[in-house]
Amino acid sequence: MTSLTVFLLDRIAEDEAAVQPPGRGSAVPSRGAHAPAPGRWNAERIRAECEAKRRIVKLAMLQEDLYRVRHDDFQQGATAAVLETLRHLAQVYADHPDFDRSWTL
């Protein structure tokens, strides 16, 4: 799941960078072809959405860590729902060159 979480955090950072006011630094130096164009959507909503997505990904990473302490196989039981949630989040970036087709639902 690490590559999926890294992929999502990178895409979220790109989305945030795309709505930064001019002259402000961002976590991503280049917006790239797959980030939304500035002004295309409501910037405040995009920033709020990015923060919500980031929290979901971080909760999933915490869940993964806690599960591994108690079990040998992360892919079992209720934790599979966490992975499916992340796959849903990743689908909006399916056209990105770093998207792994194994994340397809």
| d(C-alpha 82, C-alpha 85), whole Å | 5
Give the model's confidence band at 29: pLDDT under 50 very low, under 70 low, under 90 confident, else very high. Answer: very low
Cβ atoms of 14 and 48 closer than 8 Å: no
The rounded radius of gyration (Å) of the Cα atoms in the chain is 15
Specify the number of domains making up the chain.
Answer: 1
Q: What is the pLDDT of residues 89-99, one digit of tens each?
A: 999 999 999 99
Instruction: Give me the pLDDT at residue 87, please.
Output: 92
Q: What is the mean pLDDT of residues 8-37?
A: 71
Instruction: Give me the pLDDT at residue 55, please.
Output: 92
Per the structure, the complete domain to which residue 51 belongs is given by 2-103
